[in-house]
Structure 1
Amino acid sequence: MMRIVMLQICAAFVVAIIAACIGGYASGFSALLGGLSYAIPNALFALRLYAGTLKPGGASPVTFFVGEFAKILTTIALLAAVGWLYHDVHWLAFLAGFIVVLKSYFILLFRS
């Protein structure tokens, strides 16, 4: 699970560098914020799931579903916070960063 989280964080920085080279600093920062808006809640979810496995009974399905619900709410809150607090958002770069990080786990599926 941590490999996926690390891949997502790396993907966020790669997309940010590419966006900064194409569209400037604001585009790069927007892409980074978009990517981290998904990577951070996913990292917290992975940490919560790992902590659940350390309990004597192990992780339960309730732990998974509550964690997934919290991840979705945190992602929505971060997306809204970026849109509300950062006024120089380049929306195309922001969405590109978000989508690349969202789909980056496919890279690990095709690795041998």
Structure 2
Amino acid sequence: MDARTPNRTPFHRLPAFPVLLLQACVALLAALILWFFQNPVAGYSGLLGGLVALVPNAYFAYRVYRYSGARSAQAIVREFYSGEAGKIILTAALFVLVWVGVKPLEATAVFAGYLAVLAVGASGLLIVKRFQKH
């Protein structure tokens, strides 16, 4: 008998969604700032860096929140580990795609966008807590 309970909550209602939404906004804002204050190459490079961080985080959130309830505890733990492994592999693959497939590219801008989005993720618990209060 399968004790896993699928989580039927829509993706936009998951606790991680406010963090992902803010990460998307930060990626766009970083790209716009780089575009206007540097050049267009820096702008799209920053956006690509932000997406390299955002897409794997969205994948991880999808995997972790696939199941819910106490009866699904083992499945949730399994999804956490496989989601984290997938996130690392996806991040590496996206970086390779960006480095190999996009020319011209500004490496500093890629890392700036990537780190800006990661910083939002690092403060994710504070963001989720704030959204749950409202």
TM-score normalised according to structure 1 size: 0.89
- Give, in whole Å, the separation in 1 of the partners of 2:65 and 2:113: 26
58, 62, 85: which one aligns with 1:69: 85
32, 41, 49: which one aligns with 2:64: 49
- Give, in whole Å, the separation in 2 of the partners of 1:61 and 1:51: 11
Query: Compared with structure 1, are the counterparts of its residues 78 and 100 closer, same or farther at alpha carbon in structure 2 (3 Å cutoff)?
Result: same
- Give, in whole Å, the separation in 2 of the partners of 1:85 and 1:14: 23
Q: Give the number of the structure whose alpha-carbon radius of gyration is greater.
A: 2
Query: Compared with structure 1, are the counterparts of its residues 11 and 48 closer, same or farther at alpha carbon in structure 2 (3 Å cutoff)?
Result: same
How many residues end up aligned between the 2 structures? 111
8 Å CA contact retained: 2:64, 2:76: no
Matches within 5 A, 1:1-112: 1-53=16-68, 57-58=72-73, 59-105=75-121, 106=123, 109=126, 112=130
Show structure 2 runs of 5+ residues with no match.
1-15
Query: Which residue number corresponds to residue 11 of structure 2?
Result: none
Runs of 4+ in 1 over 4 A off after TM superposition: none
Using the aligned pairs only, state the percent identity. Answer: 33
- Give, in whole Å, the separation in 2 of the partners of 1:98 and 1:4: 15
Query: Compared with structure 1, are the counterparts of its residues 109 and 33 closer, same or farther at alpha carbon in structure 2 (3 Å cutoff)?
Result: same
Q: Secondary structure at the match of 2:65?
A: helix
- Give, in whole Å, the separation in 2 of the partners of 1:32 and 1:107: 20
TM-score normalised according to structure 2 size: 0.75
Amino acid at match of 2:61: A
Cα drift, residue 85 of structure 1: 0.3
